Amino acid sequence: MRPGPRGRGLRDPDLRDRLYELLEHDPLAYSAGSRFIKFIIGIVVLNVAAMILASVPELDAQFGALFSAITALSVMVFAAEYAARLWTVAGHTQRKGSALSDRLGYVFSTLGIIDLMAFLPAAIVLASGRHATLAALGVLPFFKLIRYSPAMRSLLAAVHAERRALIGCIVILIGAVLTFASLLYAIERDVQPDKLGTIPQAMWWAIVTLGTVGYGDVVPVTALGKLVSTFAIISGFAMIALPVAIISTAF
């Protein structure tokens, strides 16, 4: 009797389909997917916590090896997940293209870039031995939670739906910054040459004022400058309210 056919390993389409279902199709709908999500979220939280604690010199001196080990583990897990998504996405997109085009579509997608940046910079830093830089990179894996958060996906969908209006808000904001900065520069440059002697210096004041932050490091001292500042503050309220209103209408 001839032996039955063996599985084809990584070329087995059934294996790829099952893995794709685990990674992409509502993993919370079944126990294996739920455990996978909890595992990934646990790794993300552990990695971010390690990177935050590694920025404390006393803790880094005592537990530096542990923090590096956690980072190395995270890099391996995220790299394996990225490779699995890259392998399984072929034939599972709406474009009906080739396997290469499907994979390139994932690589250059927003979530694909997030998945890549979750491990690649940390892997480079680990390989180069510059462990002090890891704390600055610790926030990157946090953005992987966007994939597993329905609330974040809804917010991103709303932003994407209103992207043209939001781009318009950015253009208006840039125009307001340039306008108020130029006005204050013309008014106060001779009075405060060290703080408002150039338009870029005045732009810092305009950004802080329109954002209603008010650090107080640069303030107008002339009556006309204070009047311009008043209009800038009032305009700042509109700059904040406008994008909020646009996004809220998308829900």
Q: Are residues 118 and 178 in the same domain?
A: no
Say how far residue 78 (Cα) sits from the centre of its chain. 16
Give the domain CATH number at 186: 1.10.287.70
Position 19, amino acid: L
The whole-angstrom separation of Cα 248 and Cα 162 is: 10
Domain of 186, in residue numbers: 163-249
pLDDT tens string 161-208: 888 999 999 999 999 999 999 999 999 999 999 999 999 999 999 999
Q: Are residues 131 and 53 in the same domain?
A: yes
Class of residue 29 by CB neighbours under 10 A (exposed 0-12, middle 13-18, buried 19+) = exposed
Q: Are residues 75 and 172 in the same domain?
A: no
Q: Are residues 85 and 25 in the same domain?
A: yes
* DSSP conformational letter for 169: H
3 domain residue, yes or no: no
Q: DSSP per residue over 71-89, as a string?
A: HHHHHHHHHHHHHHHHHHT
Q: Is 39 helix (H, G, I), strand (E, B) or coil?
A: helix
Structural domain ending residue among the three candidates 90, 119, 148: 148
60 domain residue, yes or no: yes
- What domain count does the chain have? 2
- pLDDT tens, position by position, for the chain (251 residues)? 334 444 444 455 577 777 877 777 555 555 666 788 888 889 999 988 888 888 888 988 898 889 889 989 999 999 999 999 998 887 666 666 677 888 888 899 888 999 999 898 888 877 877 666 666 666 788 888 888 777 787 888 888 888 899 999 999 999 999 999 999 999 999 999 999 999 999 999 999 999 888 788 889 999 999 999 999 999 999 888 999 898 888 77
Q: Are residues 104 and 61 in the same domain?
A: yes
Q: Are residues 224 and 142 in the same domain?
A: no
Q: Are residues 142 and 21 in the same domain?
A: yes
Class of residue 61 by CB neighbours under 10 A (exposed 0-12, middle 13-18, buried 19+) = exposed
Structural domain ending residue among the three candidates 148, 176, 206: 148
Q: Are 169 and 246 in contact (CB under 8 A)?
A: yes
The whole-chain average pLDDT of the chain stands at 83
User: With a threshold of 0.95, does the pTM exceed it?
Assistant: no
Neighbours of 146 (CB within 10 A): 15
Structural domain ending residue among the three candidates 88, 122, 148: 148
